[in-house]
Structure 1
């Protein structure tokens, strides 16, 4: 996590089905459980053990995980 305990809000999601890549802004107050790929329209869900699609398919873990305040598990 960057200095001053400010979470990174931008992540690059990569669809595991088609490889489509998109830069997204993550919600700061919740984990995002579903995400529809803009490339193939697949509905992405977290890999078992991850709290959200950003933790599973993004370049950066979600803000609640970064802040160690995730209550999804």
Structure 2
């Protein structure tokens, strides 16, 4: 069994700012506000959360080959 990685580095597509965040394990995160430019990120079509769209690691349920929220 592979360990689940709970940290993901989110990159803002608007300004390029990056920040490492801890992903929730009990809920999807649909919105994320970039602390630099204040753009509110939403998941891209086909993705379940902002980590799957803009992070360097997918969310924990996707890492476990499960469906996300």
TM-score scaled by length of structure 1: 0.86
Alignment of structure 1 residues 1-73 onto 2, 5 Å: 4-72=1-69
Task: Give the CA deviation at 1:25.
Answer: 0.4
Gaps of 5+ in 1: none
| RMSD over equivalenced CA pairs, Å | 1.1
Task: Give the CA deviation at 1:29.
Answer: 1.5
Task: Give the CA deviation at 1:6.
Answer: 2.6
Helix, strand or coil: the match of 1:59? coil
TM-score scaled by length of structure 2: 0.91
Task: Give the CA deviation at 1:69.
Answer: 2.5
- CA distance in structure 2 between the aligned counterparts of 1:18 and 1:46, rounded to whole angstroms: 17
Number of aligned residue pairs: give it: 69
Helix, strand or coil: the match of 2:24? coil
Structure 1 runs (4+) greater than 3 angstroms displaced: none
Gaps of 5+ in 2: none
